[in-house]
């Protein structure tokens, strides 16, 4: 699914108004109907509703929701933040209409008039939407804090008030919503990890915006959905043999971190690879052979860390390096040797990235078929400090183009930046995956997919989606608290089945 900017969404409104055609007031009525129906279905409309409106079109949505719910006998109180300015045309028209249904409308001119909100109350936040053009301050900031600090359930319309659709609102005042009701497509701000606690659960409601605009408009970012993954996932030939699915090589593990090698190896094998060889420190031989009998193990001459690259790289279809390899100088040499000699696709993760981060000229080291999978800290070591998630994403896109490789920025809604400028946010995964070894599992998956012939973008998009989905299945079975990284691998099968059964 495409992710549109606030400007593109505004243009989509206007395109619909001009080409459906439909009056803008009617479009607002449709927005309100979608929200009202959701509130009725979810039984929030049975509770005391406090609808807070600004004087823009977001506030207009709020007034129309109030009127529609009053016709359903809901208990509605409306508050309008008084700015001294006239509202937009659609706001004013909805205010006139609302006066015919209720007099329970309060104009808030100072904090003294803010209502006390209780646990059973439901707040509809229709203060500001995509028209936000500066951080909140003054009375509106006080009101947003008052509501956010109350025990009431908060449901924001379009965006939580104070959140910029297309840029960071880190360190700004923002409504803390339990639910956000938005329309048709995700906005970029819903996908930043730093905004997750403000958005609550996102619900995309259909309001019948014109499909031709969606088709014709190019989006800078997309979200990976089941059908995206399904379109990439290849069907296995019935007569296939293991030679058809590639031979992967993983450089993983060191003394005390053989577990990382076990985790990535198992995940690699469960991703459909034909053959797997693991190159690990000598101390890892017995544990690996015992825990992952399906893998071949090639031991380093050193007992505790990697000190020499594999003798014959040509046999392998793809290479993964990083999980648990440590930061020994000799291991750094192995990495450099590998980067010079290997011509096949490579996944670079964890300590491989940390070792790379001390090198000045990465573009001279990386060939075009690399996937880098940094988490935010590793990203910072590689590419420098950033102020917020928005900047991190922009820097990832710049670096992917500059280095001509795929960068998977691991996080809540992991972000994939491709060298051709395409960029994806993931839609699967959960906080249960914030547990040791989850990233090692991803490295195994990506290496396994590359070995099977998926290109770097395909492997990253499919692999990240499957990894998150397997994590979601694991959490459903085990709880987010109790799940561990091995559970992600255990549920990879269910994730593959889900993707292969999705109808495109």
Residue numbers of the site for ligand ADP (CB under 6 A)? 350, 375, 410-412, 414, 429-431, 433-434, 436-440, 442, 467
Give a three-class secondary structure readout of 387-453: CCHHHHHHHHHHHHHHHCCEEEECCCCCEEECCCCCEEEECCCCHHHCCCCHHHHHHHHHHHHHHCC
Subset of residues 97 to 156 that bind ligand NPW, contact rule: CB under 6 A: 128-136, 140
61 is in an annotated binding site: yes
Sheet-wide strand order for 49-53 = 105-108, 76-81, 49-53, 122-126, 153-157, 179-183, 201-205
Subset of residues 155 to 194 that bind ligand NPW, contact rule: CB under 6 A: 157-158, 183
Is residue 205 within 8 Å of 34, Cβ to Cβ? yes
Token digits of residue 217 = 């408009």
Q: Which does 28 bind (CB under 5 to 8 A by kind): ligand ADP, K ion, ligand NPW, none?
A: ligand NPW
The answer to whether 95 contacts ligand NPW (rule: CB under 6 A) is no
Q: Please count the residues of this chain forming the interface with ligand NPW, following the rule CB under 6 A.
A: 27
Phi and psi for 471 in degrees, rounded to 5? Answer: -65, -35
Q: For the CB of residue 22, give the shortest distance to K ion in the complex, in Å.
A: 22
Q: Please count the residues of this chain forming the interface with K ion, following the rule CB under 5 A.
A: 4
Q: One symbol per residue from 158 to 187: x for binding K ion (CB under 5 A), - otherwise; what is it?
A: ---x--------------------------
Q: For the CB of residue 198, give the shortest distance to K ion in the complex, in Å.
A: 11
Closest by CA to 492, choosing from 451, 441, 426, is: 441
For residue 48, the tally of other CB atoms under 10 A from its CB is 15
Q: Which does 261 bind (CB under 5 to 8 A by kind): ligand NPW, K ion, ligand ADP, none?
A: none
Q: Please give the full DSSP string across 200-268, using - where no structure is assigned.
A: -EEEEEP----HHHHHH---SEEEE-HHHHHHHPPPPPTT--GGGG-EEEEE---TT-HHHHHHHHHHH
Q: For the CB of residue 321, give the shortest distance to ligand NPW in the complex, in Å.
A: 45
Q: For the CB of residue 332, give the shortest distance to ligand NPW in the complex, in Å.
A: 49
351 is in an annotated binding site: no
Is residue 376 within 8 Å of 409, Cβ to Cβ? yes
Subset of residues 111 to 150 that bind K ion, contact rule: CB under 5 A: 125
Which residues define the annotated binding site for K(+)? 58, 125, 161
Residue numbers of the site for K ion (CB under 5 A)? 125, 156-157, 161
Residue numbers of the site for ligand NPW (CB under 6 A)? 9, 13, 27-28, 31, 54, 56-61, 88, 128-136, 140, 157-158, 183, 209
């Amino acid at each position: 699914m495409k992710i549109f900017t606030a400007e593109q969404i505004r243009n989509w409104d206007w395109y619909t108004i001009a080409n459906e055609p439909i009056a803008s007031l009617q479009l607002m009525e449709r927005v309100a109907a979608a929200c009202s129906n959701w509130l009725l279905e979810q039984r929030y409309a049975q509770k005391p509703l406090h609808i807070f409106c600004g004087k823009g079109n977001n506030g207009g949505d709020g007034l129309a929701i109030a009127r529609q719910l009053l016709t359903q006998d809901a208990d509605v109180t409306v508050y309008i933040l008084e700015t001294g300015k006239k509202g937009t045309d659609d706001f004013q028209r909805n205010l006139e209409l609302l006066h015919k249904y209720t007099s329970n409308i309060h104009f808030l001119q100072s904090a003294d008039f803010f209502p006390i909100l209780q646990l059973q109350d439901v707040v509809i936040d229709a203060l500001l939407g995509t028209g936000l053009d500066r951080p909140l301050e003054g009375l509106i900031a006080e009101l947003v804090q008052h509501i956010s600090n109350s025990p009431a359930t908060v449901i924001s319309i379009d965006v939580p008030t104070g959140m910029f659709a297309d840029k960071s609102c880190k360190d700004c005042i923002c409504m803390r919503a339990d639910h956000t009701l938005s329309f048709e497509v995700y906005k970029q701000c819903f996908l930043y990890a730093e905004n997750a606690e403000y958005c609550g659960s996102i619900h995309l409601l259909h309001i019948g915006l014109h499909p031709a605009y969606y088709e014709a408009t190019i989006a800078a970012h997309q979200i990976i959905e089941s059908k995206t993954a399904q379109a990439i996932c290849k069907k296995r030939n019935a007569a296939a043999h293991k030679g058809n699915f590639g031979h992967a090589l993983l450089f993983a593990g060191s003394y005390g971190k053989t577990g990382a090698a076990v985790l990535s190896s198992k995940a690699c094998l469960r991703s459909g690879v034909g053959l797997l060889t693991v190159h690990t420190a000598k101390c890892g031989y017995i544990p690996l052979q015992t825990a992952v009998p399906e893998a071949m193990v090639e031991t380093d001459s050193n007992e505790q860390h990697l000190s020499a690259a594999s003798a014959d790289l040509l046999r392998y279809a793809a290479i993964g390096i990083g999980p648990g390899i440590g930061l020994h100088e000799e291991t750094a040499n192995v990495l450099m040797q590998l980067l010079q000699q290997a011509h096949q696709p490579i996944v670079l993760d964890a300590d491989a990235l940390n070792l790379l981060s001390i090198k000045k000229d990465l573009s001279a080291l990386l060939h075009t078929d690399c996937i880098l999978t940094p988490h935010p800290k590793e990203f910072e070591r590689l590419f420098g400090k950033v102020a917020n998630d928005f900047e991190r994403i922009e820097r990832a896109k710049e670096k992917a183009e500059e280095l001509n490789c795929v960068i998977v920025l691991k996080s809540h809604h992991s972000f994939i930046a491709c060298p051709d400028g395409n960029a994806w946010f993931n839609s699967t995964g959960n906080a249960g995956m914030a547990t040791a070894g989850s990233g090692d599992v991803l490295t195994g998956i990506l290496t396994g997919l590359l070995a099977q012939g998926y290109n770097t973008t395909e492997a990253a998009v499919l692999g990240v989606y499957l990894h998150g989905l397997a994590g979601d299945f694991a959490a459903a079975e085990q709880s987010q608290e109790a799940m561990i990284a091995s559970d992600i691998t255990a549920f990879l099968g269910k994730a593959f089945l889900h993707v292969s059964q999705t109808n495109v």
